[in-house]
Amino acid sequence: MKAEIITIGDELLRGEIVDSNKARIAERLLLLDLECRHQVSVLDDPEDMRDAFRRAADRSDFVLVSGGLGPTRDDLTTEVLAETFGRKLELDEASLAAIEAFFARVGREMAEVNRKQAYFPSGADVLPNPIGTAPGFSIREGRAVFFAVPGVPRELDRMMDEQVLPRIERLMVGPERHVVRATLLRTFGMGESTLESELLDLARDGEVDLGFRTSFPDNFLRPVARAGTAAEADARIAQVTAAIRARLGPIVYAEGDETMESVVGRMLTERGLTIATAESCTGGLIAERITDVPGSSAYFLGGVVPYSNAAKISLLGVSEAVLEKEGAVSEPVVRAMAESVRTRFGSDFGVATSGISGPDGGTPEKPVGLVWIALSVGEGALGEAREEGHGERHGESTVPGTESTRSARNGTFADSFVFPVDRSRHRMLTAQVALDWVRRSMLGAELVGPSLLRRSGGGSAPGGS
């Protein structure tokens, strides 16, 4: 059976917003092993919309229409769908009552234009919207069943899960149907092509497909398993996920929606550890990401953004002589920043960054893109090194140039990289490396940088000067 997605709105074709709804819908259809053959976006133009609806009715079994269900004059989906297939618009009293109740709950008077959201094509199956004013609906036209849902992502997600997918599942019949299971593995530190090479022998038996997707600065792996029963599909996903984790080690940092900062926060909470930050080139980005996680007050003690040399001296006690001799973007300075912020806040971890994010400010000795990162770990914070936690080296994922252990158990570790990317991504990548180092140190794994970008300078083992 074939599925088609139609998203509607002038703002989509003008590039004013990113059309994420196609991905949200397609991802959910995959769980039903439903093949999405066409994805179309059209303007809020009746002629274009009619053409898209007719084409979809001729070639698809399920048509998911997103957008155009609002109360304004450019919200035309309901009217045009009805007109296209010769149906009248009919008032649904229950929907009108639900819309009126919605406005009453939020203490607002319902505008007259909102009444149009309670009208549907004759014969439609109304789909309740528990968190918005725009109900959805479905109609059958020939071989095709149309599902119209709002364009607001959180409303779309809820209605797809609660209203649309169960209806589609009931309509799908046939002995060849499979149960589909999928998961998302988040990786950091290895390029997409290297990842594929490392996993070349996995998911090649036809029972599990392995997809790759880049979302800077990460790379995502998506195993998809099909089987005759849910138990078989779950077992296949579990098996391939375990194999990938065993192969890649700490390069896999999370599964599903969990971010690097939420992983770090969870690990700090479980271990009863705390962190403080001293950020120059990242300008507080690490602290912002840490505090994006609910409950971060339990482990984040504070941060300093000493952007100028004077601030590094006055706020963190960095030596003026060292700054003059080595420059702000140097190992001695970033080490001093990490150790000082940890000591002054009394935290278990101190993280520091200093770099040249560009586009200007570089020299032949210190080019644009150079960054020094340091991680200081308080004595006794992590206990003895656990050999079983140390990750293996995989291809280029381990930074060359040091033979000593790169695991910061106690003391301070610093390293430098040259990230040849724009200013925004330079800061983003630097913050990700810093957070990853905190995670890796708690795992007892090597502190490494991303292999997909060039590195300059040397690393220093914990306790070095």
What tens digit of pLDDT does each residue of 409-426 get?
Answer: 679 999 999 999 999 999
pLDDT at 262 over 90: yes
pLDDT at 245 over 90: yes
pLDDT at 204: 67
pLDDT at 403: 29
**Distances 315 to 60, 158, 311, 337 between C-alpha atoms, Å:** 64, 48, 5, 10
User: Once rounded to an integer, what is the mean pLDDT over residues 121-129?
Assistant: 96
pLDDT cut 90: percent of the chain above it: 73
What is the radius of gyration, based on Cα positions, of the chain?
A: 27
Q: Residue 215: how many CB atoms within 10 A of its CB?
A: 8
2-171 fold: Molybdenum Cofactor Biosythetic Enzyme; Chain A (3.40.980)
- Cβ contact 323:336 at 8 Å: no
DSSP-assigned letter for residue 460: B
pLDDT digits (tens, 9 = 90+) for 209-244: 888 988 899 999 999 888 888 889 899 999 999 999
Burial class for 410, CB neighbours closer than 10 Å (0-12, 13-18, 19+)? middle
pLDDT at 395 over 90: no
The amino acid that residue 52 corresponds to is A
Is residue 89 very low, low, confident or very high in pLDDT (cuts 50, 70, 90)?
A: very high
Closest CA to 23 of 162, 215, 216: 215
> In whole angstroms, what is the distance from residue 211 CA to residue 394 CA?
20
pLDDT at 397: 30
CATH 3.90.950.20 domain range(s) in the chain: 260-443
> In whole angstroms, what is the distance from residue 364 CA to residue 240 CA?
47
Is residue 450 very low, low, confident or very high in pLDDT (cuts 50, 70, 90)?
A: confident
Q: Cis ω on the peptide bond leading into residue 217 (within 30° of 0)?
A: yes
- Listing DSSP states for 324-345 in one string gives HHH-SSSHHHHHHHHHHHHHHH
Closest CA to 268 of 301, 303, 298, 304: 298
pLDDT at 384 over 70: no
Architecture of the structural domain at 179-255? 2-Layer Sandwich (3.30)
Q: Reduce the DSSP state of residue 373 to 3 states and report it.
A: strand
pLDDT at 388 over 80: no
pLDDT at 203 over 70: no
Q: Cis ω on the peptide bond leading into residue 420 (within 30° of 0)?
A: no
> In whole angstroms, what is the distance from residue 354 CA to residue 163 CA?
51
CATH 3.40.980.10 domain range(s) in the chain: 2-171
Mark residue 67 as left, alpha or beta (left: phi above 0; alpha: psi -120 to 50; beta: remaining): left
| 62-66, 224-228, 370-374: segment of lowest average pLDDT | 224-228
Q: List 226's β-bridge partners, or say none.
A: 180
CATH 3.30.70.2860 domain range(s) in the chain: 179-255
pLDDT at 191: 87
pLDDT at 281 over 90: yes
- Strand-strand pairing, 62-66 and 2-8: parallel
pLDDT at 390 over 90: no
pLDDT at 453 over 60: no
> In whole angstroms, what is the distance from residue 390 CA to residue 383 CA?
14
260-443 fold: Maf protein (3.90.950)
- Listing DSSP states for 179-230 in one string gives EEEE--EEE-SS-HHHHHHHTTTSS-SSSEEEEEEEETTEEEEEEEEEESSH
pLDDT digits (tens, 9 = 90+) for 319-354: 999 999 999 999 999 999 999 999 999 999 999 999
pLDDT at 26 over 90: yes
